[in-house]
Amino acid sequence: MVRAPAGVLPALQREFAQDTAEHFMCDDEAIRIGFCAALRLTLRRCVCRMKSDTLQGIAVERWVSQRVGQDKFCEAMLEYWGGACAVTGVNIPEVLRANHAKPWAECVTDAERLDVFNGLLLMANLDALFDRFLISFDEQGRMLIAPALAEVDLFPLGIMPGMELRWIEPQHQPYLAQHRHRLRVNKNQVTPLSQ
């Protein structure tokens, strides 16, 4: 039997918090096993601390600013469209989104921002496409498709031939015209969705 090397004993004392560790006598193999176990435990704790520190950087404090009147616009859209998608008629509130034809930020007045004719109540998939100017609607309410959408993608996106607004009023026209213009400017060519 040999006495434990000086470097091992402080590590063992820290890990096992025993005052008597320096009086511990053991053979070489036991020292190596004990040292490895202590080192493994120390490394595991360090890794856990590092992971914890990294995760703390992931949680971010956020300040959310909701556009004043957005909730009123949503309520008005739900009422105007009868609580159903302007295209499909789906009436599941959790999947419906109120979207502006003329973007909120580009509206000059609050009246424009809150005008029900400046918006459509759409299912989330159609809302995302409308919001990114990948679909729009012509003067009769028929869906227009940007060429960026491949034909093979239409069905998985829930887009079928003959899709159109359930109704359209003359007051929708100026807003939809601006939306169509943006779709054409951004996407060059628009394809009507034929039956």
Please name the residues in contact with 145: beta carbons below 8 A apart, sequence gap of 6 or more: 134, 135, 154, 159, 190, 191, 192, 193
CB within 8 A of 82, min separation 6: which ones?
A: 91
The torsion of the CA quartet 19, 20, 22, 23, rounded to 10 degrees, works out to: 160
Q: For residue 12, what is the enclosing H or E element?
A: helix 8-16
Q: What is the pLDDT along the chain (195 residues), one digit of tens a residue?
A: 556 566 656 665 665 554 444 445 556 666 777 666 677 767 667 666 665 555 555 555 554 444 566 788 999 999 999 999 999 999 999 999 999 999 988 999 989 999 999 999 999 999 999 999 999 999 999 999 998 888 899 999 999 989 999 999 999 999 999 999 988 766 555 555 554
Those residues whose C-beta lies under 8 Å from the C-beta of residue 175, and which sit 6 or more positions away, are 100, 101, 102, 115, 117, 118, 119
Any idea where the domains of the chain sit in the sequence?
Answer: 2-58, 70-192
| Report field, pTM of the whole predicted structure over 0.75 | no
